[in-house]
Amino acid sequence: MARHSGGRGWYGKVIGAAVGVTMLATGASVWTAQAGDADDASPEATAPAAPGGDVKPVSPTIAHASEGGKRAVNITIDDGPDPKWTPQILDLLREYDVKATFCMVGTQAQAHPDMVKKVVAAGHRLCDHTVSHNTGMDKDSDAYQSQQILDAERMITKASGGVRPMYYRAPGGAFTPYSRKLAASRGMRPLGWNVDTKDFERPGADAIVATVERELPNGPTLLFHDAGGDRTQTVEALRRLLPRLKEQGHTFGFPVR
């Protein structure tokens, strides 16, 4: 999977502060990394209870397929919610009767709980995209990965009013065996993508549309963003793509769990 440039991501300038605030806000929680190889780690032993009801473990393999079948497309939206861009994307999804999966950064969800609730109310699904969007987190300790995933899970769940994330997407695809197992033990299926639209780089709406049309045969899960900068091109590309994909006989679904 391609990684977005920027090292620890566009949140890099505030990571230290965000993590510090998160740790204080969540009672200065500390997780202990498991000894030995990550494949042998036991995430259940490090995962405290989170709000939102009972947790049913899911597969730790990275999902790409759609619940909707062969002609279905999964729209996934990363890095928000954002008070400017998320409402515009929600309006487009409502206009074309499309459901999507929103991969939310914990600090963004905490800052904009009203947006999280609107996403849920519209019938979309939530995905844990960590606390601070560190695209190099696969090089960090198990304890750090736990903090990023579990704190974000709680932040998103609280912001939503009790609806838990159903997926976990590592920033930039920085999955590890440990992080996948940990997320899966919390009922969050690791979520990949088949088409990176590169909208984060703002190549132009035409280029975003062309990327989707060229790479959609690779698989159904499309990656877009609703935060991290000016998302005008993303909105315009979705305005063109959603009706066009429907005209081509595609339906829209959620990733498998």
Looking at the annotation, which residues are catalytic? 78, 225
Q: Identify whether the C-beta of residue 111 lies closer than 8 Å to the C-beta of residue 81.
A: no
Contacts for 17 with CB less than 8 Å, ≥ 6 apart: none
Residue type, 123: G
Which token pair is 188? 């969050």
SS3 call for 34: coil
Which token pair is 106? 């914990």
The residue behind tokens 């230290």 is 16
For 88, phi and psi rounded to 5 degrees? Answer: -65, -40
Specify whether the backbone of 172 is left (phi greater than 0), alpha (psi in -120 to 50) or beta: left
